[in-house]
Amino acid sequence: MLVLGIETSCDETGIALYDTDRGLLGHALYSQVEMHNEYGGVVPELASRDHIRRVLPLIKQTLAVANCDLHQVNAIAYTQGPGLAGALLVGASIGAAMSFALQIPALGIHHLEGHLLSPLLSTPAPSFPFIALLVSGGHTQLMQVDAVGQYRLLGETVDDAAGEAFDKTAKLLGLGYPGGAALSKLARRGQPGQFKLPRPMLNSGDLNFSFSGLKTAVLTLINKQDSTDQIRADIALAFQEAVVQVLTEKSLAALSQSGLTQLVVAGGVGANEQLRKNLSYKAGLIGATVFYPELEFCTDNGAMIAFAGAMRLQAMPKKNLQSASSFTVKA
Ligand code: KG4
Ligand code: ZN
């Protein structure tokens, strides 16, 4: 089965073709990040308009890369939500139109399910069951993934997502948007031990997180110091250390509570070098393995949506396939 995946939930237009026999045949991504950068965050109206501009050329490009004809596509998978309503509607509308024109099913996929399953696109891939740490700009969750469609929420942020905290702190440090990668780059020049920031909810006894206080603590720190380059780097490092320690310890707690030995890290913050280093080292000490999707599958992309769609459609009885279409968005 050949599935065309469409991701338009935020500021990336992602298209991919996944074949259940041959794997990922092609994928293309257009990031709007430069367009939103000058506004310091994603402007929803601009995002929707840009998705409209990009989506069809990207579909053509992906079909060409995969050497496929549109009529070979057996099903569409598009991101149903969560995300920006207008942006989601672009993907859903294209999905509905293609489904109608080609007489094939179109299935709405939960954006986070895409992220949760994205590690299965990389080699080596984890096997079910595993723990997933989902850390993006909009979400921070620990999930137990038993099978496709069987997800158990173990804990989540009670306020800001980890990526959001990175972005807001980066803004306070005068870095552009989104600032996670830039903050992490700045932190490389930081001197350890110059500043100590709180570890929110580290000892809360559950698997929940809180990051909004950390950003406020950074603001207080910035207001007390001269803003030299070195001090900014020291603060960036202190902030990153705090987030990384909390994410690491809660992930390890999820592993030991569940008795599982595989941890998957998904979402944009999973690109963070210090988080990767720390998690792999600490997990190794307890005999667990950490899986990271390739960087291009860590952030928003069409491949994870095509893949999740293919897994869902494959699990569906054949007689239900024709009526599998769903055209709602959940912002
Ligand atoms: O998964 P994603 O591409 O989009 C969604 O939010 O769904 O994640 C984007 C988030 C942003 O907040 C960005 O700042 C963060 O991932 N990010 C990072 C790094 N690279 C991206 N955060 C920390 N360190 C990084 N290297
Ligand atoms: Zn995402």
Q: What domains lie within the chain, and their CATH numbers?
A: 2-116+298-321 (3.30.420.40), 124-292 (3.30.420.40)
- Work out which ligand 1 atom sits closest to the CA atom of 9: 7
Per-residue pLDDT of the chain (331 residues; tens, 9 = 90+): 999 999 999 999 999 999 999 999 999 999 999 999 889 889 999 999 999 999 999 999 999 999 999 999 999 999 999 999 999 999 999 999 999 999 999 999 999 999 999 999 998 999 999 999 999 988 999 999 999 999 999 999 999 999 999 999 999 999 988 899 999 999 999 999 999 999 999 999 999 999 999 999 999 999 998 889 999 999 999 999 999 999 999 999 999 999 999 999 998 899 999 999 999 999 999 999 999 888 888 889 999 999 999 999 988 877 776 667 776 777 7
**Cα 226 to ligand 1 centroid, rounded to whole Å:** 28
Helix, strand, coil shares, percent, the chain, to 5: 50, 20, 30
Q: Is the ipTM of this complex over 0.90?
A: yes
Find the length of the chain. Answer: 331
- Under DSSP, the state recorded for 157 is B
Among 269, 275, 278, 301, name the best residue to mutate to test ligand 1's pocket (greatest count of ligand atoms within 8 A of Cβ). Answer: 269
Neighbouring CB atoms inside 10 A of 23's CB total 10
Q: Is the CB of 178 under 6 A from ligand 1?
A: yes
Among 7, 42, 113, 136, name the best residue to mutate to test ligand 1's pocket (greatest count of ligand atoms within 8 A of Cβ). Answer: 136
**Cα 160 to ligand 2 centroid, rounded to whole Å:** 15
Q: Is the CB of 91 under 6 A from ligand 1?
A: no
Consecutive H or E run containing 265 = strand 262-266
Q: Is the CB of 79 under 6 A from ligand 1?
A: no
Which ranges of 137-228 would DSSP assign to H, the alpha helix?
Answer: 162-172, 180-187, 212-224
Q: Is the CB of 268 under 6 A from ligand 1?
A: yes
**DSSP bridge partners of 209:** 157
Residues within 5 Å of ion ligand 2, judged at the Cβ atom: 136, 300
**DSSP bridge partners of 7:** 14
Both tokens assigned to 44: 């929803």
**DSSP bridge partners of 3:** 18, 75
Cβ-based neighbours of 177, under 8 Å, separated by 6 or more: 33, 36, 37, 39, 40, 41, 167, 170, 171
Output the pTM of the full model.
Answer: 0.90
> What is the C-alpha to C-alpha distance for residues 201 and 20, in angstroms, rounded to an integer?
42
Tokens 């950003």 correspond to what residue? 215
**DSSP bridge partners of 30:** 13
Both tokens assigned to 176: 């552009």
Nearest to 111 by CA among 146, 151, 80, 144: 80
**Cα 16 to ligand 1 centroid, rounded to whole Å:** 21
Neighbouring CB atoms inside 10 A of 116's CB total 23
